Structure 1
Amino acid sequence: MNPSPQQPNESSLQAEVVVLGAGPVGLAIANYLGQMGVQVLLIEKLDALIDYPRAIGIDDESLRTIQSFGLVEHVLPHTTPWHAMRFLTSSGRCFADIQPMLDDFGWSRRNAFIQPQVDGVMYEGLKRFTNVRCLFSRDMYDFSQDDQGVSLSLRNSDGTEEQVRAAYMVACDGGNSYVRRTLNVSFDGKTAPNQWIVIDIANDPLGTPNIYLCADPVRPYVSAALPHGVRRFEFMVMPGETEEQLSRPENMRKLLAQVLPEPDKVELIRQRVYNHNARLAGQFRVGRILLAGDAAHIMPVWQGQGYNSGMRDASNLAWKLALVVKGLAKAQLLDTYELERRDHARAMIDLSVMAGHVLNPPKRIYATLRDGISWLLNYVPPVKRYFLEMRFKPMPKYTAGVVVADSIKNSPVGSMFIQPKVELEDGCQVLLDEVIGSNFAIIAWGSNPKWGMSAAQISAYEALGVKFIQVLPAVQLKAQRAAIDGVITVGDFNNRLKTWFGLYPASVVILRPDRFIAALTIPQTLDQAAAEVLRRLHANDVLAPSAVQAQVA
């Protein structure tokens, strides 16, 4: 699955976007931009994709992002859906049981996976695009930017040098980001005082499904079942211990004896020691350079949100960058990336830190209180549902950026739209995003999604690649009706879209390519909402100016 370095003949390379770093965030951004026709140069310092222990939890939002660039069916075989997470006391009693069984976004809310395998799928996916090039074994040792673009200096493993010129650069170069440090962007937060050793074992010696976090006051540990018969153990490294010491056979045996009856009877894949950091970059954009993934934020592993937060960055940034590069929106649109993503990244850091304190309280008395209180709360149904449905997880909801505020109580504007299955005219049933593709969408319950929009507005949205979608009860698909030019009609056969629209005094949504709701309205005021979305996209001067003459009151 790992690539061999490609050796270009030219010493000067051109691209519209340079993506620095072939981790999951860089691969996701390159895939999205690739399918949008953007000229991309993906640069990686290493000579192959990383294959050592990394993330093991992938959320529904990340799967939906991968779906948006057409690779989710290739990723699913490397996942275990409906992956439960259980917190245990040292005696083995479960004090928090997280079994997320919702699928609002089309996929299991929490899934186990093996990151190098999924990274490999995304890398292979880049081969679909002639407009994407991947350069491995390149060390970027210098860069600069001006009003027209970014210049990079690369050094190959054989000592040869290359110069790169691009309109924009996305730095996905990790927590120790050279780009972030060179730009003097702060990285505020702290590193946990203790480390953890991660051990991956083939032919799972336990075989039990799901993931267990044991709050052992002597040495907390994690036991996680992964796809393809792999078992992940994580143990806290105690003061004075080193990776070299713990890797010795006799010490490895002592660790595994805590969780296995026969610690010598294992097939070790690899082990690695990690620090747990909680840090957030002071800014995500500096001119034509944008930070994403670990370069912008890093967090402890306890809720599996480091990987998923990076994928949210990719989903939020890639479509905006594509519009700007293609001349469909002004560069100011890129300011909304930090505006929308930074606060939620901070919330996920706080959640991960809190989960770490639950697993390993700073004082023994806190653990005793935790065990007693959690035992009682398990008998309170609302509290139990709160954990089972992962309601404690802060879901992204944007209040500024490419969103149009309204007066609806508990408005869903700024949050992610649901993805149920819908029925097509030919009777096939598909997930909603398969109808939308990687585009904007205007979805109307029952009515014509173009009704009330001016010809100029329709033209502007068509330039953005919008899909106009009318939703009907599936049984109405068989009724004779006049076709609406440029409108896709789908059937709501499981009542989920009707139920969703029934929650609000509105029937039309304007969806962004990342499936977040930009506006919620009714047909009579759709023209005003559509105009305001174009304005917030900074597309009003780029597309037809008359398309934005109507403004939201």
Structure 2
Amino acid sequence: MTEQASILIIGAGPTGLTLANLLGQNGVSTVLIEARNELIDFPRAVGIDDESLRAMQGLGLVDRVLEHTVPDQQIRIVNGSGKVIAGINPTTREFGWPRRNGFVQPLVDAVLLEGARRFDSVDVRMGTEAVDLVQDRDGVSVTVRSQGQESTLRAAYVVGCEGGRSFTRQKLGIPFTGETRKQRGLVIDVANDPLGTPHAVFGGDPNRGYATLSLPHGIRRWEFMLLEGEDDALVESDEFLHKLLQDHVADPANLDIIRRRVYEHHARIADRFRDGRVLLAGDAAHVMPVVAGQGWNSCIRDALNLGWKLTAVVRGRAGQELLDTYAEERRDHVKAMVDLSVGMAKVVTNRSKVTSAVRDTAAAVIDRLPKLKSYVSGQGFKPMPKYTRGVVLQSPWTVSKSVPVEEGTSPGAGTLFPQPRVEVPGAQTMLLDDAVSAGWRVLVWNNDPAHFLSEDTRSELADLDASLIQLVPSAQLNWAAANASSGVSVIGDPAGELKSWFHARPVSAVVVRPDHVIAAECLAQDLDSALRTIFQKAHLRPAREKAVATA
């Protein structure tokens, strides 16, 4: 008998595990299969950013994830002489968490695996490999092999998350466009950190580029360039490793080496992220050099973008066309992250003494320009997600003589809404996402949003389990809460961070998607029409049509 599920996820890496947690939160019937009997434990990602920590917060796992992080980890970039030529030390908390953090990926992935197993609707099967896939108009049949026995799993949709060598992508014949750079790297993880310093160092040495990072639980990582003619087999040579490390520690032979591995710098993006009822996510859809520390975080962004859309479609709240917006939105940002990673890899692994000298001169100029130095230190070069297509309303701000625009402010639609600390009646301050329900959110500054919505719009929002939120200065919190419309939550702004955000923009209302992306922003009077447009862009079905679709 063929087993049935709404969603089948292939691959228990960070993408598949995060997606399984998201679908589990929504009660979606999900099967997650992984060919290995255990999660991968060899060296991989070492950086988790504020967006991903916000995602972990939404999954109810952030406290356990934080146990395996180094918050606010600084990076020092040095030249071949060991001189610091640049520093990266972002201190912003725009999204509620430190922007840059070291972490131990296998331990965090294990937290995600345990998280997925919390949900009765999620079935995790290790040691189960996909060996064939056939889709038709109504679903996808996947042949799986476990303990030498083959069986069939049937799902409405399949998501391939099984890494760069993705069976799913290859089965569908989707090209993986890009390059694998000739430059290889060697990763060495050491227990009982012989240095113990908290920061990370990127060494732009033209003789041999390197990096070293302090990781949680006394782990130290080194990454070295492998030069032309150096065979991968050298990774097994203690003598070779000791030679690489002799300028870094006093006694390389006395190190407690726990992992060693050669890796390649891949920079590739799948030509398409969707083929009918099958989707690609994470490394199955894109891979990038490790230098910028964005591979793992890009996987989490994919899962966040896809999780709410799959939920809406399988529940009949949206048409299948919504799934096309996944690639429309994610592809451009992924390309920007790949380009950033390739660029940083070239800086660190460059072997030209002339190019290195030019780089060092440029760094000296930047060091004398406070604004530019602050931009580099704050990691301003990291492309933030900004979706210009898909489920976003990119329209000009309403022109009003009563609402001037602060110079230098850009429209927020398609970007992430901030997450400051807020107040709710009768409780201590907390992060914004903890103060409201997960899902769609309509936030209005200083006004009760219900007064600006038609009955039909409120009905559609209720069908989406959306939250209506009135934002006020904390001084007004109790009064506003006592006078709010039924179903409207009132949230106080104790430090004025939300007021400052609205102050800089000629808007007073925002529509925020379940993945924290601003779908629309407008003045309060335009809220109803903005929501109607977003409903169309999300291919949402009115409640009466949804009932027919799911019957």
From 228, 252, 269, the counterpart of 1:263? 252
Deviation of 1:266 after TM superposition, in Å, equals 1.2
SS in structure 2 opposite 1:66? helix
Aligned counterpart, 2:119: 129
Corresponding position of 1:477: 477
Deviation, 1:362, is 5.3
Q: Return the offset for 1:238.
A: 1.5
The alpha-carbon deviation at position 246 of structure 1 amounts to: 3.1
CA contact (8 A) 1:451 1:523 kept: no
**1:423 correspondence with 2:423:** yes
2:185 corresponds to which residue? 196
Q: Matches of 1:301 and 1:498 in 2, distance apart?
A: 38
Q: 1-side partners of 2:214 and 2:544: how far apart?
A: 51
Partner of 1:174: 163
Q: Measure, in 1, the Cα distance between the counterparts of 2:386 and 2:209.
A: 34
The answer for the alignment partner of 2:498 in structure 1 is 497
CA distance in 2, matches of 1:151, 1:506: 48
Kindly state the Cα deviation for residue 240 of structure 1 after the two structures are TM-superposed.
1.9
**Cα offset, 1:377, TM superposition:** 1.6
For 2:65 and 2:89, the matched residues in 1 are separated by 22
CA distance in 2 between counterparts of 1:336 and 1:290 reads: 12
Q: 1:315 to 1:83 in 2, by over 3 A?
A: same
Q: Secondary structure at the match of 2:57?
A: helix
The match for 2:342 among 353, 360, 367 is 353
Report the Cα offset of residue 543 of structure 1. Answer: 5.6
Counterpart of 1:40 in structure 2 is 30
- Residue 460 of structure 1 and its aligned partner are, at CA, apart by 0.7
Q: Tell me the CA shift for residue 242 of structure 1.
A: 2.3
Is this contact kept in 1: 2:316–2:541, CA < 8 A?
no
Q: Deviations over 1:467-510 (max 9, x none)?
A: 11111111112437423200111110010000001111111100
Q: Secondary structure at the match of 2:156?
A: strand
Question: 1:127 offset after TM fit, Å?
Answer: 2.1
TM-score, length-normalised on structure 1?
Answer: 0.95
- Aligned-residue CA RMSD (Å): 1.3
Q: Name the structure 1 match of 2:324.
A: 335
Please point out which of 237, 242, 254 is paired with 2:231.
242
Number of equivalences: 534
CA contact (8 A) 2:188 2:221 kept: yes
Q: 1:374 aligns with which of 348, 351, 363?
A: 363
CA contact (8 A) 1:327 1:542 kept: no
Q: Paired residue for 1:81? A: 71
- Aligned-partner SS, 2:239: helix
8 A Cα contact 1:456 1:544, kept in partner: no
SS of equivalent to 1:199: strand
The correspondence of residues 381-400 of structure 1 with structure 2, limited to 5 A, is 381-400=370-389
Give the match's secondary structure for 2:450: coil
Give the conservation status (yes or no) of the 8 Å contact 2:235–2:260. no
Deviations 1:389-420 (A, max 9, x none): 11101111111110112213721111000000
2:405 aligns with none
Asked if 1 retains the 8 angstrom alpha-carbon contact of 2:206 and 2:351, the reply is: no
| Residue 113 of structure 1: how far off its partner (Å) | 0.3
C-alpha separation in 2, matches of 1:42 and 1:246 = 34
Alpha-carbon distance between aligned partners in 2 of 1:148 and 1:68, rounded to the nearest angstrom: 32
How far apart, CA to CA, are the structure 2 residues paired with 1:358 and 1:314?
30
What is the SS of the residue equivalent to 1:393? coil
1:224 equivalenced with 2:225 (yes/no): no
Q: After TM superposition, where is structure 1 displaced by more than 3 Å over at least 4 residues in a row?
A: 478-481, 540-545
Given that 2:317 and 2:541 are in contact with CA atoms closer than 8 Å, whether structure 1 keeps it comes out as no
Distance 2:484 2:208 in 1: 66
Deviations 1:22-43 (A, max 9, x none): 0000000000000101000001
- How far apart are 1:544 and its partner, in Å? 7.0
User: For residue 51 of structure 1, what is the aligned residue in structure 2?
Assistant: 41
Q: Any unmatched runs of 5+ in structure 1? A: 1-10, 546-553
**Alignment-derived partner of residue 280 in structure 2:** 291
Whether the aligned pair in 1 keeps the contact of 2:72 and 2:91 (CA below 8 Å) is yes
* 1:437 Cα deviation from its structure 2 partner: 3.3
Aligned mates of 1:395, 1:293 — CA distance in 2: 17
Residue type of the alignment partner of 1:197: L
Shift of 1:541: 4.6
Deviation at 1:542, TM superposition (A): 5.3
Give the structure-2-normalised TM-score: 0.95
Could you say what secondary structure the match of 2:412 adopts? Answer: coil
Secondary structure at the aligned position of 1:402 is classed as: coil
Question: Following the alignment from structure 1 to structure 2, what is the Cα–Cα distance between the partners of residues 460 and 338?
Answer: 26
Give the counterpart letter for 1:295 in structure 2.
Answer: A
Listed as ranges, the matches of 1:438-517 within 5 Å are 438-479=438-479, 481-517=482-518
Q: More displaced, 474-483 or 233-242?
A: 474-483
Question: 1:436 & 1:240 partners in 2: Cα distance?
Answer: 57
1:363, distance to aligned residue in structure 2 (A) = 2.7
Which residue identity does 2:349 align to in structure 1? N
Q: Which 10-residue stretch deviates more, 177-186 or 109-118? A: 177-186
Partner SS, residue 77 of structure 2: strand
CA contact (8 A) 2:132 2:144 kept: yes
Change (3 A) 1:253 1:414: same
